[in-house]
Structure 1
Amino acid sequence: MTVAAPADSGAALHGDRPRSRRGARSPWPDRALRVGSVAGAVLIWQLLTAADIRLWLRFDTLPTVTEVLAAFGRQLGTEVYYLDLAQSLIRILTGFAVATVLGVASGIALGRSRVFAGILGPLTELARPIPAIAVVPIAILLFPDDEAGIVFITGLAAYFPIMVSTRHAVRALPTLWEDSVRTLGGDRWDVLVRVVFPGALPGIFGGLSVGLGVAWICLISAEMISGRLGVGYRTWQAYTIVDYPGVFVGIITIGALGFGTSAAIELLGRRVTRWLPRGEENTR
């Protein structure tokens, strides 16, 4: 005996995909809105500075967009600009990589081990409120050269957001997952590899994103104080010689570097956590 399928079953089976395609939004309106917001801000900047507007804020003392673009073009033709870029990128990537390894490892340990939390927990909570840039004098005294001190400050700034986010993500994991692995014969290593680390990945990447932003702030500040190369050092040097277009070139460069590295972390996070139920929604 055969049962005839309902008349609308074929439409239901074959209609889901076209319906989902029709419901998917095009990304171009959002991209156009973002580009338009930046273009609008640049246009307002040009109008205010070119007209020498002074309404409490002294826009007449700032360089115009055309002056900044001219200075940008001159610096792009010099070797020093690319040396500064490379030096800042080396510092931020080195410090951030060390902070990532230590932050994730210690965050998992703090979330999983009462003994480790009892030993390291109070120390981290005492040190966490101290701004990393306040440690610059200690770094100058502690390390044999400025380069190691700047990397240390950068890594210290990124460490605490990564560690705290990882710790909270580990503690928020449902115990049912761990119990399921142990019921199937898994040991502590299996729990860490199959439950703790994958389950904490969204929180880890949230900490990486925040830590990278804080690391850039402290890196630029450290370069201004004790650096000899780097975007922060060159920006401060331009200010000391009253080269205001050069100052804005440094500011824009810092913003572009921060945006690029943050976008890379966000893209990597989406790829790694694609298995999550919200992964498909974020990639649309």
Structure 2
Amino acid sequence: MGTALKTPEPDVTAPDAGHSPGQPPAREADRAPMLPRVTRAQLGHLGIVAASLSLGVLLWHIVTAINLNFFINFENVPSPARVFTAFMGHIQTSIFWTHIGVSMRRILISFSLATVLGIGIGLIMGRSRLARAFIMPYIEVIRPIPAVAWIPLAILMWPTEESSIIYITFLGALFPIVLNTLHGVEQTPEVMVRAAQSLGATRAAVFRHVVIPAALPSIAAGLAIGMGVSWFSLLAGEIISGQYGIGYFTWDAYSLINYQDIVVGMLVIGFLGTGSTAAVRLVTRPMLAWQKRTR
């Protein structure tokens, strides 16, 4: 009768933030933000790339140091050190960045136009025999014409040199995008189209949910190829009728017999083209995420 009942003391331990009852507390390692990890295979790939580039620069240094003249003449080719010194001098001037900025602007405008029209034309040609029969002859006739051959006519057609250069660059990017999009649409499995139709899908639904996703890998490849071709076309236009741009910079260096600046322009063009193509692949990668899920 005189014994007092003891009530259990409440647990005063504060629960972890974000911890729900019935679940074990999260470990500190789990709370840390997930950082992207570089795999051993990726490190090995980067190492091979670095070794390959280093070997190329070493061979370039050797053939210019000994003035190799055996079938190919390297006597007037500048050494890597001279090219690097010239490059470091140019990046400190505003005119050099103006050349790069003008070329990038032309690429952005012309490639954007080619992407919109090229994908649209390719999709229409892939799903309509009438459209393909009507448009394909123009593509097959115009596509083999090099960019340099368009320059005189483009200058006569367009009111300014800027618009003529953009037009030439646009043509260079257009045809790879159109043909790769057309190829992707044609490779759409017919069984998938029939399956969607049997489930009651309309033509618009089949086009949106079956044809376009199936064509995306080819479209992405066409965009990457079109970016490379657009740089080739741009430089042809800048060399002939431009006043600014990295192509004009390279041609002006050739006119002044400035060999190291020629190589500087060539290398900048190569890196800009590589970076632009990598950017296109990076942008199109999320659209192809379904490929990994189906493997």
Partner AA of 1:184 in structure 2: L
Match of residue 270, structure 2, among 243, 255, 263: 255
Alignment-derived partner of residue 106 in structure 1:
121
Equivalent residue for 2:230, pick from 215, 219, 223: 215
Q: 1:86 to 1:279 in 2, by over 3 A?
A: farther
Pairwise CA distance, 1:55: 2.0
Q: Which sits farther off after the overlay, 186-195 or 60-69?
A: 186-195
* Displacement of 1:130: 1.7
Picking from 75, 97, 100, the partner of 1:60 is 75
Counterpart contact for 1:273–1:279, Cα < 8 Å = no
Q: Which residues of structure 1 form unaligned runs of 5+?
A: 1-23
Structure 2: segments with no counterpart, 5+ residues? 1-38
How many Å separate the matches in 2 of 1:222 and 1:31? Answer: 35
Aligned positions of 1:260-279 closer than 5 A: 260-277=275-292
Question: Does structure 1 conserve the Cα–Cα contact (< 8 Å) formed by 2:147 and 2:237?
Answer: no
**Match for residue 234 of structure 1?**
249
1:74-120 residue CA offsets vs partner (Å, 9 max, x unmatched): 10000011111110001111111111111111011111012211221
1:133 aligns with 2:144: no
Judged with a 3 Å threshold, the aligned counterparts in structure 2 of structure 1 residues 175 and 92 are, in CA distance, closer, same or farther, namely same
Question: Hey, which bits of structure 1, 4+ residues long, moved more than 6 A?
Answer: none
TM superposition shift of 1:134: 1.3
**Would the aligned equivalents of 1:270 and 1:279 in 2 still touch at CA under 8 Å?**
no
Q: Is the 8 A contact 2:147 2:236 kept in 1?
A: no
Q: Give a deviation string over 1:112-166, Cα, whole Å, max 9, x none.
A: 0122112212222222222233111110000000100111111101111110111
CA distance, structure 2, for counterparts of residue 269 and residue 189 of structure 1:
23
The equivalent of 1:27 in structure 2 is 42
Give identity over the alignment, percent.
Answer: 38
Change in 2 beyond 3 A, CA 1:112/1:71: same
The CA deviation at 1:186 is: 2.0
1: distance between equivalents of 2:133 and 2:64? 57
SS at match of 1:61: coil
Equivalent of 1:122 in 137, 141, 147: 137
Give the aligned CA root-mean-square deviation in angstroms: 1.5
- Which structure has the bigger radius of gyration? 2
1:42 aligns with 2:85: no
State the distance in 2 between where 1:25 and 1:52 align. Answer: 40
The separation in 2 between residues aligned to 1:278 and 1:165, in whole angstroms, is 23
Distance 1:233-1:48 versus aligned 2 partners, 3 A rule? same
Label 1:279 to 1:36 Cα distance change in 2 as closer, same or farther (>3 A).
farther
How far apart are the structure 1 equivalents of 2:188 and 2:41? 35
Per the alignment, residue 261 of structure 2 pairs with 246
Question: What amino acid does structure 2 have at the position aligned with 1:101?
Answer: V
